[in-house]
Amino acid sequence: MSSTGFAQSASSDAASNATTAEITAFPASDAQRHLRDTRPLRLITCGSVDDGKSTLIGRLLWDTKAVKEDQAVTLRRDSGQQNDLGLPDFALLLDGLQAEREQGITIDVAYRYFSTDKRSFIVADTPGHEQYTRNMATGASTADLAVLLVDARAGLLEQTRRHATIATLMGIRQFVLAINKIDLVGYDQARFDAIAREFRELAVSLGVRQITAIPMSALKGENVVLDGRASMPWYEGPTLVEVLEQATVRSGQTVGFRLPVQRVSRPGESFRGYQGTVAGGSVKPGDSVVILPSGMVANVAKIVTFDLVRNAAVSGDAVTLVLDRQVDISRGDMIVSLEGQPQMGLHFDAQLVALQAEGIQPNKRYWLKSGTRRQRVTVQPVQKLDLQSGKWVAAEALAMNAIGKVHLAFDEQAIFDAYEANRATGAFILIDPDTNNTVAGGMITAKRSSLGGLHQEDARVILSLPADLAEEILASAAFAARREEVDIRRVTAAKAAALLGDLDG
Ligand SMILES: Nc1nc2c(ncn2[C@@H]2O[C@H](COP(=O)(O)OP(=O)(O)OP(=O)(O)O)[C@@H](O)[C@H]2O)c(=O)[nH]1
């Protein structure tokens, strides 16, 4: 299971597990220090085809010495006469990915690891073609920072806008604009300034403030790891690696404790534990917790891992919790702290990316999977993002690759954090029950806002009814108790009386 982001169907597992494995090897107090000091920065590189993404990643690996000697020899040999600068073709380092990409959704985001003496990094490499938007979104869902590449000759393209927008939707707030191939425009400062200015306007419209624009030649290694002062004395800013070393790693600990229950462990009569990977916050023995959706409370008696009894568990730890009393808990429930609980309800607002050719159809019922929970949901598209104008426009359905705002209506209580607050418990995927395909990846923006305890849209319907009827409905205690269970949006004035009778009866 992925511990962050909606990459549950994709191969972020390698990256997540790497973090989990490192952390669980330490006692908890050490683990917390370890988390703070050396958690790797996750980044995603994106841009249009041929902007130089593979060359850039290859260059990062090469200049930080992440390339092993045998790979280096092969690289020098295979590059042969391929470029006239006498440099190896760094993109060849990533060639092995092509085969992986051709194998479909489960492995179409590849993760590369490199480090400097200050920090380690995990870079998600995703393809640049438009049909791979979903992979980009998957990679972005776990990233702390996005490196957006543009070709200095071409400037910003629609694909740059699309990727910047998706990265923002996926919660990324730190951007590097890598204005690449600056050597091919004669290291022209005016060209660099013009592209950087245009991007800043886009970033402002997306609400992003943290952007560093860097003039770069990935091919020659200028301003990637080593500086490019010799060719660009006019640029006094940081290299890419300097920005990456300073960037902030997102913390999963801003809200309360979250343990999506993956399994109930009952090896014998005397032991009952609840297993899962901590998806936010921390917990220690003696802490009081709430079990959702039931609302039962208990205290934590013990925290164990496969070989240790722990004095605390933090985000990313795979643990078993033992509670101080018998409570009814099953897979898909969530154990949370008393303070800062997630939101529970039948109606949520979300944003999603449609991943399959069939798109997202209005009012179709899907399976929604978030963490260990799988629930029936009806999805109602409301708006989609027009990538030309960057504006949201009305939409009743979403085509493949479209980014949309939707309403989710659940049959049973759903439990989420807003994605902004917690990526792991705010992200989901949608599965088509007919084909079993993953048709969307999405994130919760909010529980549907209420007006006097009513969902806004429901309230609007009620307000459109004759005043006396509306008043009667609102005043009915039965309605108050059941308003979450009745789809008032389907109620017409003519049916309202019958509904009212039904509720009262
Ligand atoms: N002159 C120059 N050429 C570059 C630079 N960066 C990349 N290139 C060349 O641009 C071409 C495309 O680079 P790639 O790294 O394959 O581009 P990409 O974005 O990974 O392309 P896809 O993998 O197809 O999305 C290659 O021929 C590179 O050698 C640069 O900074 N300067």
pLDDT in tens, 59-69: 998 888 766 66
Q: Which of 55, 92, 95, 98 is the pocket-test mutation for ligand 1 (most atoms within 8 Å of CB)?
A: 55
Neighbours of 216 (CB within 10 A): 32
In this prediction, the answer to ipTM > 0.90 reads yes
Question: Which has the closest alpha carbon to 371: 333, 343, 336?
Answer: 333
Is ligand 1 within 6 A of the CB of residue 425? no
Same fold, 258-337 and 343-447: yes
- pLDDT surpasses 60 at 408: yes
Q: Whose CA is nearest to atom 12 of ligand 1?
A: 50
105 alpha carbon to ligand 1 midpoint, in Å? 25
- The residue-averaged pLDDT of 204-232 equals 91
| pLDDT higher at 18 or 376 | 376
> Bigger pLDDT: 325 or 380?
380
Domain boundaries, the chain: 12-57+108-246, 258-337, 343-447, 453-500
Answer yes or no: is the C-beta of 181 below 6 A from any ligand 1 atom. Answer: yes
Superfamily classification of domain 258-337: Translation factors (2.40.30.10)
Is there an atom of ligand 1 within 6 Å of 219 CB? yes
pLDDT of 137 above 60: yes
- Beta bridge partner(s), residue 11: none
Residue 74: what pLDDT? 59
Q: For residues 310-334, give the mean pLDDT.
A: 89
Q: Which residue has the tokens 């969307």?
A: 440
Q: Ligand 1 atom closest to Cα of 85?
A: 1
Q: Which helix (H) or strand (E) holds 202?
A: helix 189-206
116 is in an annotated binding site: no
Determine the Cα–Cα distance for residues 142 and 159; give it in Å rounded to an integer. 20
- Among residues 267, 29, 5, 235, the alpha carbon closest in space to that of 140 is found at 5
Q: Spell 432-451 as b/e; 16+ CB within 10 A means b.
A: beeeebbbbbbbbbebbeee
Token pair in block for residue 81: 């006469």
Which CATH architecture does the domain made up of 343-447 adopt? Beta Barrel (2.40)
* 52 assigned binding-site residue: yes
DSSP letter at 217 equals B
pLDDT at 187: 97
User: Closest ligand 1 atom to the C-alpha of 83?
Assistant: 29
CATH of domain 12-57+108-246: 3.40.50.300
417 is in an annotated binding site: no
Q: Position of tokens 């092509």?
A: 98
The model's pTM: 0.63
Encoding tokens for residue 303?
């925290």
Range with top average pLDDT, 86-95, 181-190, 194-203, 354-363: 181-190
Q: Is 140 in the pocket of ligand 1 (CB under 6 A)?
A: no
- For the Cβ of 125 lying below 6 angstroms from any atom of ligand 1, the answer is no
**Dihedral in degrees, nearest 10, Cα atoms 263, 266, 267, 271:** 120
- Provide, rounded to the nearest whole percent, the portion of the chain with pLDDT above 70: 68
